[in-house]
C-alpha cells in the first residue's frame, strides 16, 4: 500500500526525535489523530514524566496536558530514550534544538547526533522530516550526507527527506500547530505530497509544497523579516528622541499611509526565535556579506544599553549617578504576559546597571523568583525602569509608585506610561522613543 494510503488508514508508525515544546506537541497531536507514535528523548526524566501521562512543559499550554494523558493511556504515544525503538517507524520527525552560539554561528550538534543515530536504525523507505528551524542548505549539506552515511542508503531511493519548519509559540502550542499554515519541503515531489497527506491529519491551516531549501529559507526569512522591522522601529525611535518628537505618535501617523506597518520601538528583542533565526538565514552564504540583517541584529541588541543610558540621564537630572544607586527593573520575561526569559533584554540591562555599580531590584508578575507585591519589592529604589509591557503594569498607580521610590525617577521602555501623566505625577521621566518636545 502506498504511504499516502497508509497514512489515511492510520497504518503508519511515526517516530519523533526530541520531546521539547515542539516535539511533544506534534507527537501528541499525531497520536491524538490515531497514529502509533514513539517519541525518543535524551532526558530520562522527561521520558518518565510523559509515560506517566504528565506534560513535561512548564507554563500554561491549553489542551496539551489532557491530550498527553489521553494518548499515553491509550498507548498511542510511548516515549523512550532508545533510538532502536524507531527501527520500524515509517515516518520520523526531527525536533531537536538548533541554537546559535555567542559567535552567532549555528550549533547543529543535536541535529547531527539525531541524524547519525536515526540513520543507524531507520528502515528501508522511511520518510524523515526535519521540523527544527535550520539554515538554508542544511538539508543538503548536513542531513542528507549523515543519513546516507549512517544508513548506507541514498536519498530518494532508500529513504526520503522533508523539511517542514515548526511555527509554534510557547503558550499556544496546540492552537498554533492546528491553525498555522506550513511549508512541506520535500526531497522530491512525491515526498511533498506524502508530507501534505500526513500534516493534513493534524493541521487545518494551508499546506504549501516546496523543495527543502525553499522551506529552509521561508522559516528563517519570516523571523528575519520581523527582526529587521523591529530594528527599523528601534532606529526610528532613537531618531525621534534626538529630534524631540514622540515615536508612538510618528508611528501611528506613518501607519495611516497604505502599506506601512512600522513596528514598536522597545527596550530590546528577546525570545528563542527572533534573535536566532537571522543568523541561521545568513549562515553559510557564500559570495556576499549580508549587511542589513547583521546591522538590524546589532541595533536590536543595543537597546538595553540605550535604556541604561536613559536611566543615567534621568538620575543625573536629580544629581544622582547609577553608581551606588538602587534601581528597580519592572519585567524580566522577554515578552509581555509570559514567563519565558530566554534572551530577555532585561537580563542585558541588569548586567549593564550592575557593571556600572548599581544594586538592582527585579519584579515580574510571571517569572519566579520575582513575583509578589510590586510595591514592597521595589520599595526604596532610586528609579523604576519598565522593560516589559505586562498587563499588570498597565494603568500603573503613579502616585503610589512615587510614594514607594526614594526619588521620583521613571524610565519607560515599552510606552506603558504617557509622558504627560508621568510629568503630572511629578516624575523625572524618560521614555524610549520620546524626545524632549521643542514645540515648534
Residues recognised as catalytic: 219, 273
Residue in 175, 178, 263, 402 binding ligand SAJ, rule: CB under 6 A? 263
In the complex with ligand SAJ, the residue whose CB is nearer, 169 or 294, is: 169
Question: Which distant-in-sequence residues (6+ apart) come within 8 Å of 286 by Cβ?
Answer: none
CA torsion sign for 144, 149, 150, 155 is positive
How far apart are the C-alpha atoms of 312 and 307, rounded to whole Å? 9
DSSP H or E stretch at residue 75: none
Q: What is the DSSP string of 292-328?
A: HHHHHHHHHHTHHHHHHHHHHHHHHHTT--STT-EEE
Binding mask 175-214 toward ligand SAJ (x if CB under 6 A, else -) reads ----------------------------------------
Residue 255 Cβ, how far from ligand SAJ at the closest point, in Å? 12
Binding mask 133-172 toward ligand SAJ (x if CB under 6 A, else -) reads ----------------------------------xxx---
- Cα–Cα dist 248/264, whole Å: 8
In whole angstroms, the minimum distance from the beta carbon of 285 to ligand SAJ comes to 21
Residue 346 near residue 353, CB atoms below 8 Å: no
What mask, x for binding ligand SAJ by CB under 6 A, covers residues 87 to 126? ----------------------------------------
Q: Is 223 in the site for ligand SAJ (CB under 6 A)?
A: yes
Distance, in Å, from the CA atom of 30 to the CA atom of 24, rounded to the nearest integer, reads 10
CB of 402 to ligand SAJ, least distance (A): 26
Whole-angstrom distance, CA of residue 323 vs CA of residue 171: 39
Residue closer to ligand SAJ, measured from CB, 38 or 223 = 223
Site string for ligand SAJ, 312-351 (x = CB under 6 A): ----------------------xx----------------
Please, what is the minimum distance in Å from the beta carbon of residue 167 to ligand SAJ?
A: 4
Q: Of the ranges 7-15, 261-269, 284-292, 312-320, which one interacts with ligand SAJ (CB under 6 A)?
A: 261-269
CB < 8 Å & 24+ apart, contacts of 138-146: 138/106, 138/108, 138/111, 138/216, 139/163, 139/185, 139/187, 139/212, 139/213, 139/216, 140/212, 140/213, 141/284, 142/108, 142/111, 142/112, 142/115, 143/111, 143/115, 144/187, 146/112, 146/115, 146/116, 146/119
Bridge partner residues of 155 (DSSP): 159
Distances (CA, A) of 188 to 152, 184, 269: 20, 11, 37
Closest chain position to ligand SAJ (CB): 271
Told to check if 270 binds ligand SAJ by CB under 6 A, we report yes
266 binds ligand SAJ (CB under 6 A): yes
Query: To the nearest whole angstrom, how small is the minimum distance from the Cβ of residue 12 to ligand SAJ?
Result: 26
Please name the helix (run of DSSP H) or strand (run of DSSP E) that holds residue 91, with its range, or none. Answer: strand 91-94
Task: Name the one range near ligand SAJ by CB under 6 A: 115-123, 147-155, 259-267, 312-320.
Answer: 259-267
Q: Is 416 one of the binding residues for ligand SAJ (CB under 6 A)?
A: no
Q: How far apart are CA 417 and CA 386, in angstroms?
A: 9
Window 227-256: contact mask with ligand SAJ (x via CB under 6 A): ---x--x-----------------------
269 binds ligand SAJ (CB under 6 A): yes
Q: Could you list the residues that contact ligand SAJ (CB under 6 A)?
A: 167-169, 222-223, 226, 230, 233, 263-264, 266, 269-271, 273-274, 334-335
Amino acid at each position: 500500500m502506498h504511504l499516502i494510503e497508509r497514512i489515511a488508514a492510520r497504518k503508519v508508525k511515526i517516530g519523533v526525535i526530541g520531546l521539547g515544546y515542539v516535539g511533544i506537541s506534534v507527537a501528541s497531536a499525531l497520536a491524538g489523530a490515531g497514529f502509533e507514535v514513539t517519541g525518543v528523548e535524551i532526558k530520562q526524566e522527561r521520558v518518565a514524566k510523559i509515560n506517566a501521562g504528565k506534560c513535561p512543559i512548564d507554563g500554561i499550554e491549553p489542551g496539551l496536558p489532557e491530550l498527553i494523558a489521553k494518548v499515553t493511556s491509550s498507548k498511542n504515544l510511548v516515549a523512550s530514550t532508545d533510538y532502536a525503538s524507531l527501527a520500524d517507524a515509517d515516518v520520523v520527525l526531527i525536533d531537536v534544538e538548533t541554537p546559535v552560539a555567542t559567535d552567532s554561528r549555528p550549533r547543529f550538534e543535536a541535529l547531527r547526533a539525531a541524524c547519525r543515530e536515526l540513520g543507524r536504525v531507520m528502515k528501508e523507505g522511511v520518510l524523515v522530516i526535519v521540523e527544527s528551524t535550520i539554515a538554508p542548505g542544511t538539508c543538503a549539506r548536513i542531513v542528507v550526507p549523515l543519513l546516507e552515511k549512517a544508513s548506507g542508503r541514498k536519498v530518494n531511493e532508500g529513504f526520503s527527506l522533508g523539511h517542514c519548519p515548526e511555527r509554534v509559540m510557547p503558550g499556544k502550542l496546540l492552537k498554533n500547530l492546528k491553525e498555522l499554515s506550513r511549508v512541506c519541503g520535500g526531497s522530491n515531489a512525491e515526498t511533498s505530497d506524502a508530507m501534505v497527506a500526513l500534516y493534513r491529519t493534524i493541521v487545518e491551516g494551508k499546506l504549501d509544497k516546496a523543495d527543502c531549501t525553499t522551506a529552509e529559507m521561508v522559516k528563517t526569512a519570516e523571523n528575519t523579516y520581523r527582526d529587521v522591522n523591529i530594528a527599523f522601529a528601534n532606529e526610528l525611535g532613537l531618531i525621534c528622541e534626538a529630534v524631540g518628537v514622540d515615536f508612538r505618535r510618528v508611528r501611528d501617523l506613518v501607519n495611516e499611509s497604505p502599506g506601512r506597518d512600522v513596528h514598536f520601538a522597545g527596550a530590546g528583542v528577546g525570545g528563542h526565535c527572533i534573535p536566532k533565526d537571522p543568523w541561521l538565514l545568513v549562515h553559510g552564504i557564500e559570495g556576499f556579506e549580508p549587511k542589513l540583517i547583521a546591522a538590524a541584529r546589532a541595533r536590536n541588541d543595543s537597546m538595553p544599553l540605550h535604556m541604561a543610558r536613559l536611566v543615567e540621564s534621568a538620575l543625573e537630572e536629580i544629581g544622582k549617578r547609577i553608581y551606588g544607586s538602587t534601581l528597580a527593573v519592572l519585567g524580566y520575561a522577554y515578552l509581555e504576559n509570559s514567563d519565558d526569559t530566554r534572551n530577555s533584554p532585561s537580563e542585558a540591562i541588569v548586567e549593564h546597571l550592575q557593571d556600572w555599580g548599581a544594586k538592582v531590584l527585579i519584579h515580574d508578575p510571571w517569572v519566579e523568583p520575582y513575583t509578589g507585591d510590586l510595591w514592597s519589592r521595589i520599595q526604596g529604589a532610586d528609579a523604576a525602569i519598565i522593560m516589559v509591557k505586562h498587563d499588570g503594569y498597565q494603568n500603573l498607580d503613579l502616585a503610589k509608585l512615587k510614594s514607594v521610590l526614594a526619588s521620583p525617577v521613571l524610565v519607560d521602555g515599552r510606552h506603558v506610561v504617557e509622558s504627560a501623566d508621568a510629568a503630572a505625577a511629578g516624575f523625572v521621566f524618560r521614555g524610549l522613543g520620546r524626545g524632549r518636545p521643542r514645540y515648534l
